[in-house]
Amino acid sequence: TYVVTDNCIACKYTDCVEVCPVDCFYEGENTLVIHPDECIDCGVCEPECPADAIRPDTEPGMEDWVEFNRQYAQLWPVITIKKEALPEAKKYDGETGKREKYFS
Ligand code: SF4
Ligand code: F3S
């Protein structure tokens, strides 16, 4: 599976949702997540993200992100149409530790 990671938080560009063939992106207030059981591993979303926030779970240290994506995909509504990025997306693009800041 692919997962959405820290740099989506507070940016949420949403370019990713338009290309997903199985519509498995889910939207929260500050970030999106991918449903790990629905993702077919096609990889087409990865290069679409301007914040480089989408990673394959084969990269080291992704276990926590798989769980994060799974947990919120079950709670949030699906998103299939691109919308405006969050107003301060550029400011927060590249900031570290956003998950701790927004999800604790
Ligand atoms: Fe959708 Fe493919 Fe990205 Fe998985 S890898 S979220 S199926 S576009
Ligand atoms: Fe987030 Fe990147 Fe999609 S910032 S909303 S994962 S395009």
Q: Residue 43: which CATH number?
A: 3.30.70.20
φ, ψ at 2 (rounded to 5°)? -100, 155
| Å from CA of 41 to ligand 1 middle | 6
| Å from CA of 21 to ligand 1 middle | 7
What pLDDT does 78 receive? 98
How many Å apart are CA 89 and CA 28, to the nearest integer? 15
Q: Which of 50, 41, 47 is nearest to 12 (CA)?
A: 50
**Is 26 within a domain?**
yes
| ipTM entry | 0.98
Considering only CA atoms, which residue is closest to atom 3 of ligand 1? 45
Work out the pLDDT band at 88, boundaries 50, 70, 90. Answer: very high
Which ligand is in closest contact with the Cα of 42? 1
Please give the tally of structural domains in the chain.
Answer: 1
**Is 96 within a domain?**
no
Share of the chain above pLDDT 90, in %: 99
Domain that holds residue 70: 2-83
| Å from CA of 33 to ligand 2 middle | 9
